[in-house]
Amino acid sequence: MKTIQGPGIFVAQFIGARAPFDTLAGLAEWAAGLGYIAVQLPTNVPAIFDLELAAGSTVYCQETLGLLASFGLKISELSTHLQGQLVAVHPAYNEMFEGFAPEALRGNEPARRAWAIAQLKLAAKASGNLGLAAHATFSGALAWPYFYPWPQRPEGLIEEAFAELARRWRPILNAFDEAGVDLCFELHPGEDLHDGVTFERFVEAVGGHRRAAILFDPSHMVLQQMDPVAFVDRYHERIRAFHVKDAEYRRDGRSGVYGGYQAWVERAGRFRTPGEGEVDFKGIFSRLAQYDYPGWAVLEWEDCLESGEAGARKGAEFIARQIVRVTDRAFGDFASSGAAGAERNRRILGL
């Protein structure tokens, strides 16, 4: 069995204009000071991490790794959540997602999509250059406006949406395969890949591609009223990245999982700092240890009540407490009845 690596922290939500959050060195010193030993890096802020440079320069990659190592840190994964979103965008969302692309591409969906696909392929090369095993992203969505079957969906609509999603992602998956890196889709409402069933549809559509993997975030399971521990039992072979994020669902008679268009603080389901919600992290960490999860436990801070810096401080301590340090021997070894062997076993059985 493997001991989960961690704690790590996804720094996307903390990058800002003031120190220490405006440079990679500042973020690294801050994260290390809280007890983290890895950072998950977004790739859409060149001042923090230059994706294009990392894809083409092993020197830059070694310098980045060296900088982080000087603070006792590693990179858990790179992230292309925003770029991945743009691989597939339904026209209803075109304008809302324009801000994820360079300004020069806004209003030009084909050019924007080509840029996003190129970004993912750069991320495959960069991840390989950095010696990483996994990468975090979103799938984008063509079918999301039709998640509720009213009006009744035309026959074949969802199948065609997933066939097109597969056509767009298969070359990207192949690029990650060439780099030796798993491509981990965060299963997230708003994406066509948002639960186990939709992930299964996608894997089937890409021919069972070995690099199609899951970024497991149990908070999204809670908000969909799924069982995150049972999810690990079912999909552990494909889980290659893990966001430690909590959530709570406060059942009442006024609104439910769809949220009533309310702000996060008013919703029945809302994200919380790890330990403040209802995710069974003890069960999840135990299951991941049992199934030899090979990756990192990475805090993603999203809480509608608590400040990010407070959540980050709590998160490092929380993850460290949850990690199961796996044993290298059975607890009953002290009472061993002796060496095994075919003849001895037959004698014990009276044969």
pLDDT tens-place string over residues 67-122: 999 999 999 999 999 999 999 999 999 999 999 999 999 999 999 999 999 999 99
Record the tokens describing residue 111, joined without a space: 């050019």
Record the tokens describing residue 255, joined without a space: 């609104």
Look up the pTM and report it.
0.96
In the three-class reduction of DSSP (H, G, I as helix; E, B as strand; rest coil), residue 322 is classed as: helix
**Confidence (pLDDT) at 335:** 63
**Confidence (pLDDT) at 318:** 98
Whether residue 149 contacts residue 95, with contact meaning beta carbons closer than 8 Å, is answered with: no
What percent of the chain is predicted at pLDDT more than 70?
Answer: 98
- Beta carbons within 10 angstroms of residue 66's beta carbon: 9
**Confidence (pLDDT) at 141:** 98
Contacts of 205 (CB under 8 A, 6+ apart): 162, 163, 165, 166
**Confidence (pLDDT) at 327:** 79
According to CATH, the topology of domain 5-348 is TIM Barrel (3.20.20)
- In angstroms, the CA 278 to CA 250 distance is 10
pLDDT digits (tens, 9 = 90+) for 45-73: 999 999 999 999 999 999 999 999 999 99
- Beta carbons within 10 angstroms of residue 98's beta carbon: 17
E strand map for 170-278: 182-186, 212-216, 239-244, 246-249, 269-272
**Confidence (pLDDT) at 336:** 73
Record the tokens describing residue 344, joined without a space: 């001895």
- In angstroms, the CA 141 to CA 169 distance is 12
The 3 state secondary structure assigned to 274-287 is CCCCCCCHHHHHHH
Contacts of 120 (CB under 8 A, 6+ apart): 80, 83, 84, 87, 137, 172, 175
- In angstroms, the CA 301 to CA 344 distance is 57
Which of 266, 154, 162 has the alpha carbon at shortest distance from 205?
162
**Confidence (pLDDT) at 331:** 65
Residue 281 has pLDDT above 70, yes or no: yes
pLDDT digits (tens, 9 = 90+) for 314-342: 999 999 999 999 877 776 665 677 777 89
pLDDT digits (tens, 9 = 90+) for 174-228: 999 999 999 999 999 999 999 999 999 999 999 999 999 999 999 999 999 999 9
Helix 281-290 crosses helix 228-235 at what angle (to 10 degrees)?
10
**Confidence (pLDDT) at 135:** 99
E strand map for 187-245: 212-216, 239-244
Domain ranges within the chain, ordered by starting residue: 5-348
- Beta carbons within 10 angstroms of residue 236's beta carbon: 16
**Confidence (pLDDT) at 329:** 72
Mean pLDDT of the chain: 96
- In angstroms, the CA 178 to CA 192 distance is 25
Phi-psi region of 315 (alpha: psi -120 to 50; beta: other; left: phi over 0): alpha
User: Lowest-pLDDT range, 245-254, 301-310, 330-339?
Assistant: 330-339
Show the CA angle centred on residue 226, arms to residues 252 and 242, nearest 5°: 120
- pLDDT band at residue 284, thresholds of 50, 70 and 90? very high
